[in-house]
Amino acid sequence: MREIKDKTLRKKVVNAGYALSEPSFKHYSEEIRLSNEDAVRWIDSIPLEKWTRAYDNGQRWGHMTTNLVESMNSIFKGICNLPITTLVQATYFRLGALFETRRSKWSSGLQSGQLSSDASMKFIRHEAAKAYTHVVTVFDRTKCWFSVAESMDHNEGMPMGQYRVELDRGWCDCERFQAFRTPCSHVIVACSKVRRDPSYLLCYLKFTKSPAFQMFIKLVFR
């Protein structure tokens, strides 16, 4: 991104990278093309799956930071200027302590019956608040196909739309469901229509505490 000095153009490139659907990506790409042909040639030289959410096949889970150093900032805080041997030792013990802290937290959550992570539940509560303003049409109850129309603008920078939801396929046209692996408002209201708990989708998408906890056990204690 340092190659792009124009702030307005840079914002368009960022919007293209963050776009969740291919039509949205193509919209921003056209804006970039109209602004600067050289910028289009530059971004075209980078494989789409390396910098866009629309073409990552859901592998980013909504995350856009690819610099692994960023994820270590909290571990290195206050020790960056230490000798390398001390730095490695401090990193080892801090990571060990962090694993135990997270294990204890997740174990307590499982014992109390909390199905999902805190971040996931926060996302679901936000989406559930919007879900009840949508209008649902059932196209095929057996296959769980729905059309969900938005009836209220929630001031999120996107126009109101109509989306196809296929519950058994784990699909919503808004692409947020596939990208974030957590039920969007359209999926939640579709589940409500057929009296299905949207939490089951979290189990299907492996975004619950239990699978993550079991993965931790397998990695650490195998």
Task: For the chain, 222 residues long, give each residue's pLDDT as a single digit of tens.
Answer: 566 677 888 888 888 888 888 888 888 889 888 888 888 888 888 888 888 888 877 676 667 776 666 767 777 778 878 888 988 888 888 888 888 988 888 888 778 877 777 777 888 888 988 888 899 999 988 888 999 998 887 766 566 788 999 988 888 988 888 877 788 999 999 988 888 776 655 544 444 444 444 444 444 434
Short-list 127, 205, 123, CA closest to 169: 205
Q: Can you give the pLDDT at residue 201? A: 57
Pairing of strands 145-150, 171-172: unpaired
Q: Can you give the pLDDT at residue 147? A: 93
How confident is the model over 152-188, as pLDDT tens digits? 877 665 667 889 999 888 889 888 888 777 889 999 9
- Within 10 A of 96 (CB to CB), how many other CB atoms are there? 10
Q: Can you give the pLDDT at residue 56? A: 79
Short-list 5, 4, 73, CA closest to 43: 4
Q: Can you give the pLDDT at residue 119? A: 78
Q: Can you give the pLDDT at residue 206? A: 46
Short-list 50, 58, 49, 14, CA closest to 32: 14
Q: Can you give the pLDDT at residue 211? A: 47
